[in-house]
């Protein structure tokens, strides 16, 4: 391979772990069907191989945020059911009809527009606002809403606090959703995201739609020992140098050595999604040893104190995420959620897809 095509950071995606996580959610959902949220390029891990594996595992329903994402899923999976969570904007109907994508209608004017522009028989979904006050039809808007002539597949809502086991809002939303959806002429109902699925089959209804959990994010304690990490990020050592006691490292001189130290400069930075929250707080695994991030993270580079990893050499690959660094630890260090850690991964990685394909 030409050096011009060899990135100095790589992202390995474990498709077998992805499949395991999907099957775990399918088991937890029991009789309900299991779909998948694949928005944001499958939460940063790449669309094509991920879609292929989910389809092989039996996933039929895919949830996206934009028309471009819907088109990409449709191109890859001609027979899938694709749901556009972002709703309907003026001018969207011809594209949606051409793609065979179901909009999740969020407002009375969207319902009227779909009926007028899409014609009879074109399936669509309804988002119900059960207390999150984001997208969705409020209970007062449902009363008297004209749904005649619509082919309604899903009624959906979204849980605001499912990742907080002691928060009673999830049960309040579940009961409200059941009440609102009961009299709607829909084929199926869907409420539970990854954390919602972990709360039990009472949240499953007809279809669950895991997202971050598919990709290894643990957002509910009940999932901690059941999901496998999917993403492994590595980067190369570009340079090693020895500094003296009192020497500083990085922009702003925010770290000062308290002993003679060996510093490794690593080929990753905030342009790759390794954000400045890791400055003087994160760690990476170098030759089997955890080594702390010292100094500020910059656009393309991170510096580590590898004094306690004497085997470290220029060109070595170090584990940035996965390979001994969990999403949960990275989240605690950086202040980023599991969602942010994955979806902010940049485009400079050599992406590898491991496992059966």
Half-sphere exposure of 327 (CA within 13 A, CB side): 21
Strand-pair partners of 317: 236
- Give the C-alpha distances (Å, rounded to integers) separating 284 from 37, 265, 304, 329: 30, 12, 8, 11
39 is catalytic: yes
Read out DSSP for 30-47? Answer: TTSEE-EE-HHHHHTT-S
Strand-pair partners of 168: none
Half-sphere exposure of 21 (CA within 13 A, CB side): 29
Cβ–Cβ under 8 Å, residues 330 and 232: no
270 is catalytic: no
The counts of H helices and E strands in the chain are 11, 19
Among residues 39, 215, 274, 353, the one annotated as catalytic is: 39
Among residues 22, 241, 251, 339, the one annotated as catalytic is: 251
- Give the C-alpha distances (Å, rounded to integers) separating 163 from 37, 132, 220: 17, 14, 5
- Catalytic residue set: 39, 251
């Amino acid at each position: 391979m030409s050096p011009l095509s060899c990135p100095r950071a790589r992202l390995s995606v474990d498709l077998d772990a992805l499949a395991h996580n999907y099957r775990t959610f399918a088991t937890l959902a029991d009789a309900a069907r299991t779909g998948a949220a694949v928005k944001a390029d499958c939460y940063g891990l790449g669309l094509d191989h991920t879609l292929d594996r989910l389809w092989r595992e039996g996933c039929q329903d895919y949830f996206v945020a934009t028309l471009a994402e819907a088109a990409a899923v449709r191109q890859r999976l001609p027979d899938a059911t694709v749901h556009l969570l972002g709703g309907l904007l003026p001018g969207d109907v011809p594209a949606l009809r051409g793609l065979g994508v179901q909009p999740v209608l969020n407002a009375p004017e969207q319902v009227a527009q779909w009926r007028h522009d899409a014609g009879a028989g074109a399936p669509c979904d309804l988002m119900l606002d059960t207390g999150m006050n984001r997208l969705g039809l409020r209970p007062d808007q449902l009363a008297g809403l004209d749904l005649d002539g619509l082919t309604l597949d899903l009624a959906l809502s979204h849980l605001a606090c499912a990742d907080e086991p002691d928060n009673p809002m999830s049960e309040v939303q579940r009961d409200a959703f059941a009440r609102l959806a009961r009299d709607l002429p829909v084929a199926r109902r869907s409420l539970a995201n990854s954390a919602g699925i972990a709360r039990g089959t009472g949240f499953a209804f007809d279809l669950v739609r895991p997202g971050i959990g598919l990709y290894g994010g643990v957002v509910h304690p009940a999932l901690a020992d059941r999901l496998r990490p999917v993403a492994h990020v590595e980067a190369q050592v570009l340079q090693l140098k020895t500094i003296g006691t009192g020497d500083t490292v990085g922009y702003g001189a925010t770290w000062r050595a308290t002993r003679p130290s060996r510093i490794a400069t690593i080929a990753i930075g905030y342009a790759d999604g390794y954000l400045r929250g890791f400055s003087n707080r994160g760690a990476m695994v170098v030759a089997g040893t955890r080594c702390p991030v010292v100094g500020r993270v910059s656009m393309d580079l991170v510096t580590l104190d590898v004094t306690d990893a004497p085997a470290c050499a220029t060109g070595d690959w170090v584990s940035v995420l996965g390979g001994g660094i969990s999403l949960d630890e990275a989240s605690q260090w950086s202040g980023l959620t599991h969602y942010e850690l994955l979806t902010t991964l940049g485009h400079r990685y050599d992406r590898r897809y491991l496992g059966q394909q």
